[in-house]
Amino acid sequence: MALRSPDPATGGVPAPARPTVAVFDFDGTLTDGGSVFPFLTSLRGLWPVLRTVLRLAPGLLRAAIMSGTAADEVKEKVFGRLLAGLPVDEVDRRGAAFARRHLKNHLRQDTLRRLEWHRRQGHYTVVVSASPECYVSPAGAELGVDGVVATRLAVGGGGLLTGGYEGKNCRGAEKYARLVVHLRAKGLLSSNGGGQPVLWAYGNSRGDLRLLNAADHGVDAGRLGALGRLRRFPRLAQVAAAAGEGAAPNGSARGGRDPHGVA
């Protein structure tokens, strides 16, 4: 299913303006590098994190090569070892503090300028990330975005983290599925195929490919250029240059249209 819809047959009558949604990945797109292990280190300390990495090294290596469900499963194992039994209130509090530090040290100014451009146009802005919601959500608040969709951590009895996900890891196809749910809840996307927004999507890795394919305007914010998995999409620098002083960029790539629509 695709978020984009075909141009309506208007019979010469101008179609009503569609709202615009701009979606940004977090790690590697809005910020430099990853955030999960720095967060875990800030929460549990360096040595517990290193011990966990060493114990799960084969799975982590396999996940780095294969991505997909292998990455989802080993990430949940990491969380199980390091987060299970921690009070959710403490994790949320320390996640908010981590978000402020991480943005201060790792926020990409080129992507931030693009986010601010969308905000000046009155577009609805969303951060969609596979990283934990406990710090991505406060980071989104710091950035002034309208919504955040991220991986949720499951909470058990007594308000303690179980170490597992609540639902799925918000990566790949799940990013897109969760975005659709979010936009429908906000009234920005209808379930009958009408009233669909214009979608901009910014990502840097193969975990963002499904999202960029579904967008009207997919943008490669990665650093690998021609070597990256998103190389068929226009680069962030190209899109920003084309925008000039607030004009809409001209050269944007579109993914393949899904025949099933949004419903």
**Residue bearing the bigger pLDDT, 200 or 5:** 200
Q: What is the pLDDT of residues 16-62, one digit of tens each?
A: 578 999 999 999 999 999 999 999 999 999 999 999 999 999 988 88
- The domain segmentation of the chain, as residue ranges, is 20-243
Please state the pTM of the whole predicted model. Answer: 0.85
Choosing among 3.40.1030.10, 3.40.309.10, 3.40.50.1000, 3.40.50.1950, the CATH entry for 20-243 is 3.40.50.1000
Q: What is the pLDDT of residues 80-129, one digit of tens each?
A: 999 999 999 999 999 999 999 999 999 999 999 999 999 999 999 999 99
3 state SS for the chain: CCCCCCCCCCCCCCCCCCCEEEEECCECCCECCCCHHHHHHHHHCHHHHHHHHHHCHHHHHHHHHHCHHHHHHHHHHHHHHHHCCCEHHHHHHHHHHHHHHHHHHHECHHHHHHHHHHHHCCCEEEEEEEEEHHHHHHHHHHHCCCEEEEECEEECHHHEEEEEECCCCCCCHHHHHHHHHHHHHCCCCCCCCCCCCEEEEEECCHHHHHHHHHCCEEEECCCCHHHCCCCCCCEHHHHHHHHCCCCCCCCCECCCCCCCCCC
Q: In this predicted structure, what is the pLDDT of residue 245?
A: 39
